[in-house]
Amino acid sequence: MSTPSIAQQVDDFNVGFESQIGDRLAAVFSGEQNDLRAAGVPAGALSVGDEAPDAELLTADSAKTTFSAVLADAVTVVVFYRGAWCPYCNITLRTYQEQLVPALREQGAQLVAVSPQTPDGFAQSVANGDLDFVVLSDPANTLADRFGIVTEPSGSAREAHTELGFDVADSNADATARVPFPSVYVIDEAGRIRFADIHVDYTTRTEVADILDAVRTLGES
Is pLDDT above 90 for 121? no
Listed in sequence order, the residues at least 6 apart from 81 whose beta carbon sits closer than 8 Å to its beta carbon are: 89, 92, 93, 113, 114, 115, 125, 180, 182
How many domains is the chain built from?
1
pLDDT band at 13; cut points 50, 70, 90: very high
In a domain, 26, yes or no: yes
Asked whether the beta carbons of 201 and 37 are under 8 A apart, the reply is yes
Q: What is the pLDDT of residue 18?
A: 95
Task: Indicate the DSSP class of residue 88.
Answer: H
The pLDDT tens digits of the residues spanning 22-72 come to: 999 999 999 999 999 999 999 999 999 999 999 999 998 889 999 999 999
pTM value is 0.94
Residue at 103 is within a domain? yes
Within a domain: residue 1? Answer: no
In a domain, 38, yes or no: yes
Could you tell me the CATH number of the domain that includes residue 23?
Answer: 3.40.30.10
What is the domain range of residue 170? Answer: 6-220
- In tens, the pLDDT along 135-172 reads 999 999 999 999 999 999 999 999 999 999 999 999 99
